[in-house]
A and B are shown apart, each in its own frame.
Chain A
Amino acid sequence: MEPTHEHSHMPDHDVAHHVNRHVKGYWMVGGLLAFCTGLTVAFSYVNFGSQKANIVVAMILATFKAGCVAAIFMHLKSEKWTIYRFLLITIVFALGLFLLTSLAFQDPIRLN
């Protein structure tokens, strides 16, 4: 059965205080993400020496942005172990998927 105290329309002061402390942070992360988007666009017009280098720079920025979304907006910064376990298994399988794709480049058969 659900505990009845959760049906209150008055905020739990500890929870409300805890959430309220993070509100400013959400705005700041949003601003940081917007800034990084501008940076990604600007860097795409800079010649870092090769196309590969430009891709690496863009992917580093995208990974940083994705990390901010996951850690702050999705609360992964302070999540339960069950969720981390799910994600670890997912990462292993996703890396396996990328490995399978990369193995195609090791195929010795050349068609042209």
Chain B
Amino acid sequence: MEIPYEVSARPDTGLYNAKIGIWLFLASEVMLFGGLFSGYVFLRIGAQPGYWPHGLLNVPVGMLNTLVLIASSVTVVLAWASLKMRQFTQYKIYMAITIACGLLFLIVKLTYEWPAKFHHFGVYIKKEALAKYEPYLGNSYLLAKGLAQRVEITGDLENPEAYNDPAVKEYDIRMDAVNAEPANPESDRPTFWPRPLSEKVAKIDKADVDYASMFFPRHSAYFGAYFLITGLHGLHVLGGLIVFTYFWLPVGADLYKRNPEHLANRIEVAGLFWHFVDLVWIFVFPLFYLL
């Protein structure tokens, strides 16, 4: 039995069923990501000066991933166009490139970006102890320039046992450049190329610390939102890849042999989902990496 309007358009709407379905689904996705972005903006505006992290993400890598997603959006629409023109070999090539781009995006995210965060460490200094750590915070310099104060010292934790052992009274942090040279004008604003970790090690008394954490979601509202939104986005990329791979395998060729227009419609629907995933990233990139 054939399902009506699976390939051809319904006379009243002018659309085939799957297209209606995907747009309704995308409408629900707008509300999902809209709610998360809305929460992010709320948290950010409500953050006290100096307590919203800046420059902790790798901009060139984020930019590379943005370009990779844009390239995949082009190739997926070209894969669909190839099917409409009945060029199956072209479709396979463009779809293979799309899948490769999606995989590259996930590999960069999961094997480089996220693990780099999990190895990084930060301590928020108590207000009454800020003066003691002035050589690492440079707040008098920032105040003179009218910039927001710094309250966090970040870098690599040299004595990892300090993280969980209450008997260890100090954190030894090999500092990021921003804390190693807090009065250097280069530290005023985040830079495009990440500055290398300094050789300087700061000894931070645990009694002076308000809160300490690796760059996990619990580190701050910023990282909580970052991991939630990029994680959810990553799951969407994975979902898209599974669908694309399914139609790239012989299943797609069989469907093409039976009815090429049916495969073109399936790719159009999957492509609409993929473009939406790209569209979400277009907002994620500036909000988390640049601003």
Contacts and interface: CB of A to CB of B under 8 A. Distances in A.
A23 interface: yes
Interface in A9-25: 9-11, 15-16, 19-20, 22-23
Contacts, number: 136
Contacts of B8: 2-3, 6
A109 interface: no
B11 to A, nearest CB: 12
A98 B38 contact: yes
Interface residues of A, number: 54
30 contacts: A2-B4, A2-B6, A2-B8, A6-B7, A6-B259, A9-B86, A19-B85, A26-B77, A26-B81, A27-B74, A30-B70, A30-B71, A30-B73, A30-B74, A33-B73, A34-B70, A37-B285, A45-B189, A45-B192, A61-B286, A69-B278, A73-B77, A74-B276, A80-B14, A80-B15, A82-B20, A83-B23, A90-B30, A101-B38, A101-B42
Closest 3 CB pairs of A and B: A30-B74, A44-B290, A58-B286
Interface stretch (B59-67, B157-165, B241-249): B59-67
A82 B31 contact: no
Contacts of A98: 34, 38
B240 to A, nearest CB: 14
A7 B262 CA distance: 8
Interface residues of B, number: 55
Interface in A73-91: 73-74, 80, 82-83, 86-87, 89-90
Contacts of B23: 83, 86-87
B15 A82 contact: yes
B110 interface: no
Given A30-B71, A101-B42, A11 B84 contact: yes
B2 A20 contact: no
Interface string A30-69: 1001100110110011000001001100110110011001
B282 A93 contact: no
Interface string B49-88: 0000000000100010011001101100110010011100
Contacts of A7: 258-261
A37 B70 contact: yes
Interface string B10-29: 00011100011001100100
Contacts of A22: 81
Contact of A74 (B15, B35, B260, B275): B275
A98 B31 CA distance: 10
A41 B290 CA distance: 7
A3 B6 CA distance: 11
B81 A101 contact: no
Contacts of B24: 86
Given A2-B7, A30-B73, A41-B63, A73 B291 contact: no
Contacts of B84: 11, 15-16, 19
Given A58-B287, A86-B27, 5 more contacts: A6-B261, A11-B84, A26-B74, A65-B282, A98-B38
A20 B15 CA distance: 22
Contacts of A65: 282
Nearest to A104: B42
Most B CB contacts (10 A, CB to CB) among A19, A54, A74, A82 go to A74
A104 B30 CA distance: 21
A98 to B, nearest CB: 5
